Amino acid sequence: MTKNTEYLNETRSEMLRSGLEGREQEVMYYQINIDNYTIALDEISKLPDDERAELSGFVEQLTGLLASERLEQKKAKIMLAVIKRQLA
């Protein structure tokens, strides 16, 4: 292998390792949001009927955000697996 090829391979590996850390943080970020939205919905469900009715729009918003975060986390997990596979 030439020095240039070795350099390119090492640079590629460094970039993948950096991407790995970023993807792991991204997955965790989505999980924090998923946990927050799930707990918020649980807290709202414990409120009296009149307060829950008052917050119905917020519940819809949280439900949508929860679904979106779950989907985005699935995508991030796929990309994390891709990076891990390339590093193997």
pLDDT of residue 35: 98
Secondary structure (3-state) at 47? coil
Distance CA 35, CA 81 (A): 22
pLDDT by 10s per residue, the chain, length 88: 688 888 888 888 899 999 999 999 999 999 999 999 999 999 999 999 999 999 999 999 999 999 999 999 999 999 999 999 999 8
Angle in degrees, CA 58, 61, 64, rounded to 5: 150
55 neighbors 44 (Cβ within 8 angstroms): yes
Angle, nearest 10°, between helix axes 3-45 and 56-87? 160
Secondary structure element (H or E) that encloses residue 6, with its range:
helix 3-45
pLDDT of residue 1: 66
pLDDT of residue 54: 98
Distance CA 29, CA 61 (A): 19
